[in-house]
Amino acid sequence: MLSQAIVRPPATTFAQGITTAKLGRPDVDLALLQHEEYCQALEQCGLDLIRLRANPNFPDSTFVEDTAIVTETCALLTRPGAPSRMGEVNGIASILGQFYPELTIMKAGTLDGGDVCQAEEHFFIGLSARTNERGAQQLVGWLQENGFTASCVDIRGLPELLHLKTGLSYLGDNRLVLHEALAGHEAFKGFEQIVPQPEEAYAANCIRVNDHVLLPTGYPQLETTLQKRGYTVITLDMSEFRKMDGGLSCLSLRF
């Protein structure tokens, strides 16, 4: 069971963050509202929230997931692949240190948490524009030391996926939701695979939080598919975060 989540609201500088989405400038007030609804949904799923202050020095800092890898037993601070985001890690270290007495700090390479998807004791690691081989290899080593297994999935030829989790979610029950560009990849053999229709591809970034699945609003086919599988779905409007290449998973560190 997950019990905590770290969240940070978007700052006044949010619109100055990195994006490739071409969906227009985000409305910061609306993003704040959507963020609050996201926080309330996590609380509804039983999580206690650690709410950090907005940090205008880092426009992308609401996407806290990229700064760390957190498991039930251990945590690692990453080295985000975008130079403008590297400093975000400092603001997370002291908080995570309160929960994890031995916090590992990555020493080399780059790695964004958005490229790391945990499926029980196994981790999928995306090699992307943000996560390089050196960073991924360090993570593999650290995971193995801590009793986990890992496999790498190269998404560098898939510009529609900023991060691996842009197109991949693990729902528990040996079940993945994955973008059609990832369907059939040998790393995912043995899992049940739910592939959203191309027009619903954004919803491949959804999150299982205890007894619920959080899904972006506006993807009825996937919502019905998940409900038929027995999930209780909470939908959340993510329009302003999508404009900044963000999704549901990026907005929290859950442990």
Positions touching ligand GLY (CB under 6 A) are 17-19, 60, 63, 82, 244-246
Q: Which residue is nearest to ligand GLY (CB)?
A: 18
User: Judged by CB, which is closer to ligand GLY: 82, or 103?
Assistant: 82
Task: Find the shortest distance in angstroms from Cβ 63 to ligand GLY.
Answer: 5
- Helical segments of the chain, H only: 28-44, 90-97, 133-145, 220-228, 239-242
* Residues 67 and 88 sit within 8 Å (Cβ to Cβ): yes
SS (H, E, C) 124-150: EEEECCCCCHHHHHHHHHHHHHCCCEE
- Helical segments of 98-215, H only: 133-145
Task: Find the shortest distance in angstroms from Cβ 58 to ligand GLY.
Answer: 10
User: Judged by CB, which is closer to ligand GLY: 164, or 244?
Assistant: 244
74 is known as an active-site residue: no
User: Judged by CB, which is closer to ligand GLY: 135, or 246?
Assistant: 246
Task: Find the shortest distance in angstroms from Cβ 46 to ligand GLY.
Answer: 27
CA distances from 89 to 16, 36, 113, 184, 234 (A): 19, 22, 11, 34, 29
Q: How does strand 103-105 pair with strand 116-119? A: unpaired
User: Judged by CB, which is closer to ligand GLY: 82, or 187?
Assistant: 82
Catalytic: which of 163, 185, 206, 212? 163
Task: Find the shortest distance in angstroms from Cβ 73 to ligand GLY.
Answer: 27
* Residues 195 and 179 sit within 8 Å (Cβ to Cβ): yes
250 is known as an active-site residue: yes
User: Judged by CB, which is closer to ligand GLY: 60, or 223?
Assistant: 60
Task: Find the shortest distance in angstroms from Cβ 246 to ligand GLY.
Answer: 6
Residue 121: is it exposed, middle or buried by C-beta count within 10 angstroms (0-12/13-18/19+)? exposed
Catalytic: which of 45, 152, 206, 250? 250
Collapsing DSSP to helix, strand or coil, 111 comes out as strand
Angle of CA points 104, 79, 189, to nearest 5°: 85
Enumerate the β-bridge partners of residue 15: none
* Residues 116 and 151 sit within 8 Å (Cβ to Cβ): no
**Mind telling me the catalytic residues?**
163, 250
